[in-house]
Every structure is written in C-alpha cells, then in structure tokens.
A and B are shown apart, each in its own frame.
Chain A
Amino acid sequence: MVKCRECGASEYEGVLFCQECGRSLTETVNESTAQLPFSESLLDPDKPSPGQNAAPVLEAHQVTFVIPSSGRRVSVPMQKEIRIGRADPSQSFVPELDLTGDSGAEYGVSRLHAIIQSSRRGVALLDKNSTNGTLLNNYRLPPELPYPLHNGDEVRFGRLLVHIFFE
C-alpha cells in the first residue's frame, strides 16, 4: 500500500493520485502540481499563473487563507496591514495569520514573514525580508516590494502553501 503524504490515506500500489485529497502519489509524476499536465498553464506556458488571470483586488472586507497541508482555513477582517508569520510569545508577538500550528517552523516560515497591505491602490503582498522567501504564483518576491494580489492567488511562505481569497 502507498500512503499519501498529505492526508495519510492508504492506496493500492499503482494508484497515481490520492483518491481522498488528489495529491500525486508518485515521485516521477509531477511533484510540483502547479504544472499539472492538463492545466491550461502547461498548454500555454506563457499564460500567467492562476491568480493573475483575474483583476487585482482593489477592495476587500475580509481575507481568507486556506492552508492545504493542515486543512485549516482562517478568515481575517481586512485592515491596513495583516501580518503573516509565527507567534513569538517571548516578544508578545502574534501575527494576524499565525502559521505556528501549521508546522510553520518546519516549512521555513519566519516570525514576521510577510504582510498584506491594503491601501487606496489596492491590496498587495510584501515579503518582510524573510529567511526562506515568499513565492507569489511561483514568482519569488523581492523583499520589501509590494505586489498586487488577486482572488485565489497561491502563495508559499518558505515552503508552506497558502491560498488567499478575498471577499
């Protein structure tokens, strides 16, 4: 039997994708699922990645983070700044999106890893010079530069995958 590394389900040898969560079960088959063979992205490699197809988010009252590895979903009211990282009790620091419980340390999430800024120009993501960096739709963000966000964007804080939705 093969065990899914994401959800722990057991499948027969030869099953290519976990029937519970859809994750690839074979090393040779698309470890990076961002380029699944049937996706439009692969058929047209120049097409921007998923979230960039939509218009940038200009205004939102709530942002929801979906963390596939832990199955957690966190909704945070939109504010001027939403901090993303890991809590540090010794400094009384608790970011609005605290990824400690999502194995943030193992995935390489810094204490203050990134922030989401809301301004008149829209909603943007900014890497706070984190140790392991931030990837927005597989594009590594230069530190301290705001990048506009889109509904459904895929972000990796270190190696931790998070999907971002706006309402």
Chain B
Amino acid sequence: MSDHPLLNVSLRATRSEIGALDAPQIVYLLLNIQAPEAHQFERMPLNLCLVIDRSTSMRNERMDRVKAAAGLVIDQLTNQDSIALIAFSDRAEVIAPAGPPKNLGALRTAIRGIIPNGGTEIYQGLLAGANELRKLASDRKINQMILLTDGHTYGDATKCIELAEKLVKENIGLSAFGIGHEWNDQFLDQLVAPSGGQSAYIERPGEILRNLQIRIQGLEAHYAQNVSLALQFPAGVEIRNAFKLSPFVQPLVIQPTQIKLGAVERHTPLTALLEFVIQPQLPGRKMQIPLTLKASIPSQVLSEHEFKLVYELAVTLEEPALDPPLELVAAVQAYNLYNINEKVWEDVESGHVDSAIIRLRRLTTRLLESGQTELAEQAYAETELLSRMGSLSLEGRKRLKYGTRSLMARTVKLGNHG
C-alpha cells in the first residue's frame, strides 16, 4: 500500500510473476483509492441541477414519483447549496433557476407545475441545465447535473456527449438515471463517462427516490474528485478493460491518455478493476508498471494533485505463481458474466441469433451455479424468447445488464468483509 497523507492508494494483482512466453498474458489489478480515516472532512457545497424528462411517456406514476423525489431532495439541501430545475421534452424549460433552496414553497409549486407532454430531446434539457449550473459553478463546489429520463433521445446523442465532455473541463459532472426499460443504456453510459459519473437503471418508479437520495448522499460525501489514471506504461503494457466497482458500478472508458475514475467519497473507497495485457517479455526482467493518479481535493484547495505507485511484475522462466486474492477472482468472475451478457446483445444486434442463444444458455448455467437464481431465470426466459421470436425483451435486457453489473458491487463488499 502506498500511504499518501491525502489519499490512501493500494493495489491487488492476480499475479506478481508472468512466464517468459511468446504470447501476450493477462494480469488483473484491483485499484483501491480511499480517503484517509483521520482526515477532517469538510462537506463541500453542492451546485445541483435536476434535469427532468417530461415527455408524454413520463405521465402518471413516473412523473408523480419524480416530483415527490425532487421535493424531498430539495429539503435535504442547505442554504450553502444551490439547486436548479429543468424540465424538457422536445424543448427545455427552466422550472427553477440556479439558486439556494431558500423559498421551498415556490420550488415545490414549480415542481408541481411540470406536466408531461411531448417527445424526448435530451440535449435541450442538458444545455439548459448546463447554463444554469455555470451561473454558480466553482472549484470549491460539487457541480453536478442529474438527468432523469425514460426514453431514447432522437438525433442529438452526439451533441449530448460533446456537451458532457465540455462540462467536465468546467468541473461539472453528470449522472443519469434511466426509468423503466425503454431508454438507451449505451448512450447513458457514454454520457456519464467523461466525468466518471453514474448511470443507473430504475426499474420501478417507486425506486426513484432511493436512487436519487443515494446519489446525492454520495455527492455530499465527495472527498476527492476528477480522479484519473494516466496511461503511461512501459512498451508492451496496456489496459484493455476497466470497470469501476465502488462507490457504484460503472464501465470506465479508456481514453488515449487517461481513464476518468470519478470521485472518492469520505467513507467509501473508489475501487476499479483493471485488465492489463502484457506483451511477451524477456526472462529475468522485473517490470515496473507505474500507476499515476491525478485528483482534486477541494477541501485542501488541491487541483490535479499527483499520486504515484508502482506495480512490480517479474518475468520468470519457471511456472509463474498464481494465487489471486479472493475478492479479485470474484470481481473478474462477475465482470466476465457481465461481458457474456453484453456479447449476447451484440450478437442479436448483428443478426447472430444462434450464437446469442448459445451464450445465453451458458450464462444461465453460470448464474445458476453461482446461486443467482433470479437472474438465471431471467436469462432462461430470454433464451426461450430468443429461440421463439429471434429477439430479447427490453425489460429482460435491462434486468440482465444491470443485474450482472450489480454482482460486481457485491465482490467489493466481500473484500471489505474479508
């Protein structure tokens, strides 16, 4: 473990040795970044914007629950925080401009006045939200836009992602919640990737409040933010997959020079699973793989502070030792199940239904073997549907995708208990 006074960073690897082979080899690393226990915590003010989809499909229970959740979120804020509310369909409307939540009655009235109607053009909502957030944004605040939507956006997905990339440079993060099962999960993953934010599936309207509350509690607990891992490795070493396991499960995007990891919360470590490919190496060599992190710690007025540690990997002519830690094996296994499920969807989209059926059957078996009966039953039901109809249900896709994702979160808990 590398103990920095401001951040504790540790690594666990599946191996400390690799063989001198003439083919690439794989090493998995679990990177753990934690706020120091003894550190005096200062809650940073929140600069929040809720961007609410008010398209026609949001009517009835979905909108009722969103309104109730928005009202309760406002109640939780302090006068040092600020809040803006945007409602959008095919155009956006500023329901409440950015400001401290002083006049709760007026805010509640504004929320009650949102009436679902129209299509879904997410860019309109995000742009209006960005403009409100920019008014009060600062490096000494947690600036965050939270999108709540239940549908696909049409024709403006690229613009949305470009905006998210722009916002991260202005220290504004983005989280997105998909309600129901008709929204585009790949798009929401891409949208939150630039800031290392969260995208999550809310299956039932009754779960909206809980999800929103957990997210805001996480933001309130931000200790370090804009944490990134520099991709500066020796020749023949690269990361081919990266996934965040904590404080929430989220695929990480491997950019040309860095991976945006997101934020470290006060009591919850930031944990990421990294899959390295090591090209053939000469025997006897002791490889030094540097892991350079950058993080901003607003309470310490530190911006892009560097934290370094080194992972050592010996190249041996002997049979390399393999004794991976249990939680790392569990994380890789869960990640593997998630990936098998993702490949099912890729197969279906590219018309390879037979291949998708085989994958789903295998996934069913693995889920059953690991005691995930409910997910296994869903996988089995989808296999049947695929065999009969040649397609999967949107609901089943979401349940399997986010269900297998959630298995990864459990592996972190396993490590913490151990």
Contacts and interface: CB of A to CB of B under 8 A. Distances in A.
A22 interface: yes
A7 to B, nearest CB: 7
Given A12-B26, A22-B336, A26-B322, A152 B371 contact: no
A17 interface: yes
Contact of B362 (A22, A26, A29): A22
A38 B364 contact: no
Nearest to A154: B368
Determine the interface band of chain A, counting residues with CB < 8 A from chain B: 35 or more
Contacts of B24: 12
Interface string B319-339: 000111011011111101101
Contacts of B15: 14
A91 interface: no
Q: Mostly helix, strand, loop or mixed at chain A's interface? A: loop
Q: Mostly helix, strand, loop or mixed at chain B's interface? A: helix
A30 interface: yes
A68 B362 contact: yes
A16 B414 contact: no
A166 B373 CA distance: 14
A37 B330 contact: yes
Given A36-B370, A38-B414, A152-B373, A13 B364 contact: no
Contact of B337 (A12, A22, A24): A22
A36 B369 contact: yes
Given A38-B333, A39-B372, A22 B364 contact: no
A39 B329 contact: no
Interface string B288-330: 0000000000000000000000000000000000111011011
22 contacts: A12-B24, A13-B18, A14-B15, A14-B27, A14-B28, A16-B14, A17-B336, A20-B362, A22-B333, A22-B337, A28-B322, A30-B329, A33-B366, A40-B372, A41-B371, A51-B373, A53-B373, A66-B361, A151-B377, A152-B377, A163-B365, A163-B368
Interface of A: 1, 7, 11-24, 26, 28-30, 33-34, 36-41, 43, 49-51, 53-54, 66, 68, 71, 73, 151-152, 154, 163, 165
Given A16-B329, A29-B324, A71-B361, 4 more contacts: A13-B23, A21-B340, A39-B370, A163-B364
Interface of B: 14-15, 18-19, 21, 23-28, 277-278, 322-324, 326-327, 329-334, 336-337, 339-340, 358-359, 361-366, 368-373, 376-377, 380, 407, 410-411, 414
